[in-house]
Homo-oligomer: A and B are copies of this chain.
Amino acid sequence: MTMSLSAELWPDVQPETARRLMLAGVEAFAQRGYHATTTRDIAGAAGMSPAALYVHFPSKAALLFAISRYGHEQTLALVENVVAKEADPVERIRLIVEDFVAWHARRHTVARVVQYELQALPEEEFEVVAQLRRRIERIVREVIAEGAASGVFAVSDPHISARAVLSLGVDVARWYSDRARQTPTALGKEYGGLVLRMLGVTPETPVTD
């Protein structure tokens, strides 16, 4: 199970040993926090020696950076894919929210580390991740500004609206659990509707169902 989960989480990471260490890192960081976790803890949880960990990651910070960077690259890819395949601002925002929310629900443990351990990254690595975050936020802001310019959205400040849209998705990682009442996909759809209304889109069909 662990092997297939790690391959599902990080299909681009090779070898499998590196993925196994990332998964052990995610679990340890999510449970006790980055600072309270040692490389020995992580290596042990992955059934390896600390020396074997250093073959793949030169430090605990390097492991956190790998988890954080892949997480941000994956969410950036979701957002970019939507923009590439869909031109209408309303549909763009709806699909971005659906995918972004579903990712944070489905990957809630990974997402917690990705979203809440940023300040533990060393300065240079933080800057790499911060750039990915700015790209995500800029795309969302531009889609909102585009919809506002064409009159389909009514927003007073695209910066604040973009921040609020992403906040709704990020915070899902904090509260979502496998016992949640809704699947990640269903939650994404529900939030897509909430966000469109937040941006001033009047639903064509009645919202109550």
Contact = CB atoms under 8 A, between A and B. Distances in A.
Quick one: copies of this chain in the complex?
Answer: 2
A76 interface: no
A31 B36 CA distance: 12
Interface in A169-209: 170-172, 174-175, 181-182, 187, 190-191, 193-195, 197-200, 202-203, 206-209
Interface residues of A, number: 44
A15 B190 CA distance: 48
A16 interface: no
Interface of A: 31-36, 115-116, 119, 148, 154-157, 159-161, 163-164, 167-168, 170-172, 174-175, 181-182, 187, 190-191, 193-195, 197-200, 202-203, 206-209
